[in-house]
Amino acid sequence: MFKKILIANRGEIACRVIKTARRMGIATVAVYSDADARAPFVQMADEAVHIGPSPASESYLIADKIIAACKATGAEAVHPGYGFLSERTSFAEALAKENIAFIGPPVNAIAAMGDKIESKKLAKEAGVNVVPGFVGEIDDTEHAVRISNEIGYPVMMKASAGGGGKGMRLAYDEKDVREGFEATKREGLNSFGDDRVFIEKFILNPRHIEIQILGDQHGNVLYLNERECSIQRRHQKVVEEAPSPFVTPAMRKAMGEQCVALSKAVGYYSAGTVELIVSGADPTGESFYFLEMNTRLQVEHPVTEAITGIDLVEQMIRVAAGEKLSMTQDDIKIDGWAIENRVYAEDPYRGFLPSTGRLVRYRTPVPAWAGNERGEDGVRVDAGVEEGGEVSIFYDPMIAKLVTWGETRDEAADLQIAALDRFEIEGLGHNIDFVSAIMQHPRFRSGELTTGFIAEEYPDGFHGAATEDHIIRALAAIAGFMASAEADRARRTDGQLGDRLDPPAKWQVTVGGVEHKVKLGQKHIKVDDDRIDIALEYTPGDRLVIAEIDETELAVKVAKTRTGWRMTTRGRIHDVRVLPWHVAPLTRHMIEKIPPDLSRFLICPMPGLLVALHVGAGDKVEAGQPLATVEAMKMENILRAEKSGTVKSVNAAQGDSLAVDAVILEME
């Protein structure tokens, strides 16, 4: 077994590998860029080597620097994590030349499966179902248009070396192909150093199912069941679960055996994932097609670990050291249900725009990396950040992964909701409310999932989860309790209410524009004359309140405002106004402040690079016309005109780095 390994990655996956290596008694080496100098994974590792500036192209993507770090520290093997160099044949070959073990598959398997165009050819030759499309290189936009017309719309344009949702564009007509083909090439080049693109038919009502593969260097290959990854946004997975609510035992066996056969055909060993697209319109489940094989560990691997009890990172290390798998296919079971939500630095209330900045407050529902594969009491947090750290523009926007395990799917989902309510993030936008809303959504609960779930269920954007009436009443009661506690503190600290005055016990609480009368008694609270039995503790300044209502816990994140609190729970933000009863009638005399009209301005919705400016001063534009393209976190975002008009002035130039809310141009 290895005595020391180096992790050629960063963030949560670096922490993940370090945790297992530490348990196995293996020393670890971290490599880090300028941006990650104080990151948790650097502190967790036994040794750390600085490898360059913040951009990945100058640090994590340079194989020579990784190899130099191995030589300097005596690392015998390298775990690549996912992304970066994990699927680069040249990197694995370079390690082999230096007699450094690669904790991953053989070079020939990476080459065969890492190229999406070549992998489809091999899959087809092996008798595996593949999605209809053009398997070959595309010359230019006109060639792409001809191919798309022949296949029939809708089609999907994909970067050949792509992954993680990057370098993908869905086209419903020729116009979409013309607009998206070059952008797909650029994203492929910027993210993976390869601008080749292929086009395939887009399967309607698709479900995204993937099979976890594990093999050793002695010819043994197993499938560790499936994961459902259908809930995606912009082809980026958001929610993953294992097993799938759609897959039957017969389907699982058919998919697994086919994926094992494909893996054996390319001599695969280590952990890997075969991704399949399944037509949800086919009730038999027999219409599944090969999409690609990821020759590495997947972001969503924890849900497989939770239901099988198998540490995939440990198995990868043991396989790389030449050990045989200690299990057979008959040993692979399904115990319970696991769900993973990816917590991203993005603002769902503003169209999921990327959000960067400092984590002013960061509290996880359970300590990160606590417990085993199922975490602590069924809750697991895989994270690579800490309070005071920064989510930068240089890397992926994922903050953490929240994994829950339960005996049933509903139990795992309920644990997600409760844990998300206790997950505190301040300083930047995040998607906690959004994924909580998904966990509560009736369609998610029914298991009727497709990759179009988010677009179909939130066509007008996300505005918060639906809130039941009993939650509203509970929030009103909590707000009244907190208001009395704040007033009591003021009385006791400096006599702000006068020596003879008691803090008010009667409040008018407005939640969602609806007024409620709240009265605090000695042992209970009344909301609109209805008694609520509620138990909670609150000290002024607390940011998280845990209340017990009718023997059910409700966690509420609170932030003080001028007239009350902003309260967040169960996937929704509530602006709550709290006034004493005798003051409330006076509010009708207040002047309403009207926000300024900014519709004439094209405002940058996120920090990023202005890669293209499509119009100039004096140009006439139509509603929906592209005005500018901004790149943030390796993704290109097209900003379009909201209405027809004429460009009055342009305030930015191509190549500018823009801050959030920067004015790009102004309309007449």
Element (H, E) at 556: strand 552-560
Q: Which of 76, 226, 292, 305 is catalytic?
A: 292
N- to C-terminal Cα distance for the chain?
Answer: 70
Pick from 241, 482, 221, 249: nearest CA to 341 = 241
Q: From residue 333, give the alpha-carbon distance in Å to each of 209, 329, 423, 544.
A: 18, 9, 31, 39
Q: Is 445 exposed, middle or buried (0-12, 13-18, 19+ CB in 10 A)?
A: middle
Q: Position of tokens 């179909």?
A: 456
DSSP state of 538: -
User: Closest by alpha carbon to 385, among 428, 416, 435, 434?
Assistant: 428
For residue 150, indicate whether it is catalytic.
no
d(C-alpha 11, C-alpha 395), whole Å: 9
Tell me how crowded residue 588 is: count the other CB atoms within 10 A of its CB: 6
Token duo for residue 407? 């005996």
Contacts of 401 (CB under 8 A, 6+ apart): 12, 299, 300, 302, 340, 341, 342, 343, 381, 382, 383
| Positions of E strands within 17-60 | 27-33, 47-52
Are 43 and 37 spatial neighbours (Cβ–Cβ below 8 Å)? Answer: no
Give the separation between CA 489 and CA 504, rounded to whole angstroms: 12
Report the C-alpha gap between 110 and 106 in whole angstroms.
7
Spatial separation of the C-alpha atoms in residues 217 and 320, rounded to whole Å: 8
Task: Determine the Cα–Cα distance for residues 131 and 277; give it in Å rounded to an integer.
Answer: 8
Count of beta carbons in the 10 Å neighbourhood of residue 415: 23
Residues marked as catalytic: 292
